[in-house]
Chain A
């Protein structure tokens, strides 16, 4: 498809289980972001990948969260030992470039998100 694809769209899991969320960015987009959105909250930055550079992990809330991006394309966000406070919509976005770097606005194209519910 032409847009950012995320799977699963919905995931219900039990507290303590591990989950994996997948993101397939727009072809040719070198930048990939993960955000999460809790009810009534803004988008919270988690992690950012740019090409072959080391990822910016500054937004990950704990060491239970990790992400990788294989071959500069598909990314997987893993949450280990899930907790109820991890319940949120996890949004992936990709862009051609970072904002203000001379390659247009660097706007983000978002996927539909993965809704995670931890019971």
Chain B
């Protein structure tokens, strides 16, 4: 099974850059997801990494190192609307590939 760890809460300033880390332990890695969840709303998909390296998508980028069991989500040019919870989820082989979620990182963006 997985052990997914991410910080509980982070704060940042509008216009700045923030990096949200996620570490995991798994016996058979099959991909890592990042989701965004605004308070009271459904999680929405942000990114998927299965190979090492950086995936860039607009203001958001996601990085993966399989050998280190490590990923980060990088948010640039922060906006107030980026205040949300960011969920890291890992899919594992050897079973039914169902994503397991971390507890999420609550990001607060202030002016």
Contacts and interface: CB of A to CB of B under 8 A. Distances in A.
A100 B43 contact: no
Interface stretch (B11-19, B73-81, B92-100): B92-100
Interface size of A as a range: 20 to 34
Given A107-B48, A112-B42, A113-B42, A42 B87 contact: yes
A99 B97 contact: yes
Contacts of B30: 99-100
Contact of B101 (A42, A105, A112): A42
Nearest to A111: B42
Contacts of A91: 42-43
A98 B99 CA distance: 9
B43 A110 contact: yes
Contacts of A99: 30-31, 33, 48, 50, 91, 97, 99
A12 interface: no
Interface in A18-47: 33, 35, 40-45
A100 B95 CA distance: 12
Given A42-B87, A99-B33, A99-B91, A106 B101 contact: no
Interface in A67-119: 91, 98-101, 105-113
Nearest to B6: A42
B103 interface: yes
A56 interface: yes
- Which residue, A44, A107, A110, has most C-beta atoms of chain B within 10 A? A107
Interface of A: 4, 33, 35, 40-45, 48, 50, 56, 91, 98-101, 105-113
